[in-house]
Structure 1
């Protein structure tokens, strides 16, 4: 970090740079901004002005140690809520600047997350009915919200049930930018879903995840509403997400053919290191 920025909250520096970039964007030329905010994330620290409204709500308190792990004797919940409030405020600043500059109707804004919530925020029930958390391949670890905003192009207050993943972002952007030859990848553009043309939307045969840190190795495959999860040397788990979003009942023994089909996807999807 440059010396002149010492002592500043990093998130605020990100926001300043983003506002400067959008403020200097040329209305007649394409522009792209990837803003990778780090909050909310351990360590749970946020300036005082983002904590004040939560100070006297009587919430149970939580604190982290120096490694960012949680203890149950101080105010991590207040800081966590303050982080989310600050991020929400600053995303709003960027969207408002797009509006003031007359760029909003020609700009696609996507807001999403790289994983589900961590274990330290369970008091807020951040996962709702989903099982698992960050570093899991249950839905609580890999299912994340995605909000797309594009006035007069994306219909407001609509939802899509299209199943996608981050590797679909590049082909989506390639299509929107009219790129003649998008680099080879495993993704599928979801422009049709953004525009509400659900019948024209191409679907994945399956999506594959693999995670080898801490709890790993773990593998997961989703095909339609079916989800198979496999841990090393353990019986595979099969869930019907249309009926069991919380992944509470393993139905592999009752659906052996489906379990085998998804295991075949799993075995063919990965490349040995």
Structure 2
């Protein structure tokens, strides 16, 4: 309805689909349509994905019906990977970790951008991207200038998506929640925490599923990335709202599995 009402003028449509979020619940129609999947919760999850697919299709079909599809930017993404409390061990496979961790299973999420008038169909970008890139990408796409005194984080992804920029950029990306800090510089990724007091270092080009912690073998790389983390912290500002809870999260087990001594874990300050 919104698309039809605004077809003759520029518009922005924000649509947050919570279809695959907890609680796990689906319509009977979708549940029966996906077939006899075991276990039950996986079947419900599959039914929710079916509903999500149908919901996104309603948007794209409306754009096509109104003749707007070619010159409309559509972004499909997620704020994090699947959560361990879903109890679905394969939900982020083959990557380790869940939502509430910064292992690849928690932060590696889909990012599809569709703009037929500018982006060639089937384009693939290997340079790491993050949600901080969406603001400069969309702002530049529509010719919006940055307000004076405002500095946007992130980069414009369109030169990469359209082949106008080399797709081998070395980027430095940061994540942080309280004392749990993470930096990715090129293919190297360092996670540091105080609970447990530990460092995890991985070369994602050689070990994308983060099986071999190289923190002990590569103190030089740890020092290099720690310097980036410290610089990031020094250049930032204190949180406006301090965390109020610390949640333990098993890295390799869902909440439905029993935690055993020796299993890796992190605490997530939130």
Which interval holds the TM-score relative to the shorter structure? 0.7 to 0.9
CA contact (8 A) 1:221 1:228 kept: yes
TM-score (norm 2): 0.80
Closer, same or farther: CA 58–44 of 1 in aligned 2, 3 Å: closer
Residue 13 of structure 1: aligned partner: none
Q: Could you tell me how far 1:122 is from its partner in structure 2?
A: 5.4
Q: Could you tell me how far 1:24 is from its partner in structure 2?
A: 1.3
CA contact (8 A) 1:137 1:211 kept: no
Give the structure with the higher percent helix. 1
* Distance (Å, rounded) in 2 between the aligned partners of 1:258 and 1:116: 27
Closer, same or farther: CA 78–202 of 1 in aligned 2, 3 Å: closer
Residue 224 of structure 2: aligned partner: 261
* Distance (Å, rounded) in 1 between the aligned partners of 2:48 and 2:88: 15
Q: Could you tell me how far 1:202 is from its partner in structure 2?
A: 9.5
Closer, same or farther: CA 202–108 of 1 in aligned 2, 3 Å: farther
Residue 118 of structure 1: aligned partner: 83
Return the match for 2:74 from 98, 106, 109.
109
How many equivalent pairs are there?
233
- Residue 184 (str. 1) matches residue 151 (str. 2): yes
Higher relative contact order (CA 8 A, sep 6+): 2
4+ residue runs over 6 A deviation:
none
- Residue 211 (str. 1) matches residue 177 (str. 2): yes
Residue 191 of structure 2: aligned partner: 229
- Residue 35 (str. 1) matches residue 15 (str. 2): yes
Closer, same or farther: CA 50–172 of 1 in aligned 2, 3 Å: same
Q: Secondary structure, in 3 states, of the residue corresponding to 1:230?
A: strand
Residue 198 of structure 1: aligned partner: 165
1:22-68 Cα shifts (integer Å, max 9, x gaps):
121233x22111111112111112221111123x515122xxxxxxx
Residue 22 of structure 1: aligned partner: 3
CA RMSD of aligned residues (A): 2.0
Residue 154 of structure 1: aligned partner: 119
CA contact (8 A) 2:133 2:153 kept: yes
Return the match for 1:50 from 30, 36, 42.
30
- Residue 128 (str. 1) matches residue 93 (str. 2): yes
Return the match for 1:82 from 22, 28, 47.
47
Closer, same or farther: CA 156–121 of 1 in aligned 2, 3 Å: farther
- Residue 95 (str. 1) matches residue 60 (str. 2): yes
